[in-house]
Amino acid sequence: MKSLHTILIFVVLLSGLSCWLQASRKSISINIPTIEQEATSIWRTINNITFLSEQGYRINLPKNDLIDSLITKSKNGTFGNEDFPSIYNLLESEVYKQSNYTSALAKVQDQTPLINDIIQQIESSKQSWNWPFKMFDTYEVVFTLYGSGGSYDPDTGTVTLFTTSRGEFMNYKSPANTIIHEIVHMGIEESIVQKYDLSHGLKERIVDTIVFLLFGEQLPEYRVQNMGDTEIDQHLKQKTDLKKLDSIIEDYLKDR
Looking at residue 244, its pLDDT comes to 95
- Tell me the pLDDT of the chain averaged across its residues: 90
With cut-offs at 50, 70 and 90, classify the pLDDT of residue 4.
Answer: low
27 belongs to a structural domain? no
65 belongs to a structural domain? yes
Domain of 42 in residue numbering reads as 33-98
103 belongs to a structural domain? no
Residue 196 class from Cβ within 10 Å (0-12 exposed, 13-18 middle, 19+ buried)? middle
37 belongs to a structural domain? yes
- Number of structural domains in the chain: 1
With cut-offs at 50, 70 and 90, classify the pLDDT of residue 9.
Answer: low
Q: Is the sign of the CA dihedral 15, 123, 103, 110 positive or negative?
A: negative
Looking at residue 236, its pLDDT comes to 94
State pLDDT tens for residues 206-253: 999 999 999 999 999 999 988 888 899 999 999 999 999 999 999 999
Q: Is 25 helix (H, G, I), strand (E, B) or coil?
A: coil
Looking at residue 22, its pLDDT comes to 42
143 belongs to a structural domain? no
44 belongs to a structural domain? yes
Residue 131 has pLDDT above 80, yes or no: yes
Looking at residue 227, its pLDDT comes to 82
Report pTM.
0.82
Looking at residue 18, its pLDDT comes to 40
* 214 phi and psi angles, rounded to 5 deg: -80, -35
Percent pLDDT > 70 in the chain is 91
Q: Of 2-11, 42-51, 140-149, which range is least confident? A: 2-11
Cα distance between residue 170 and residue 147, in whole Å:
10
* End-to-end Cα, the chain, rounded Å: 73
Cα distance between residue 111 and residue 221, in whole Å:
14
123 belongs to a structural domain? no
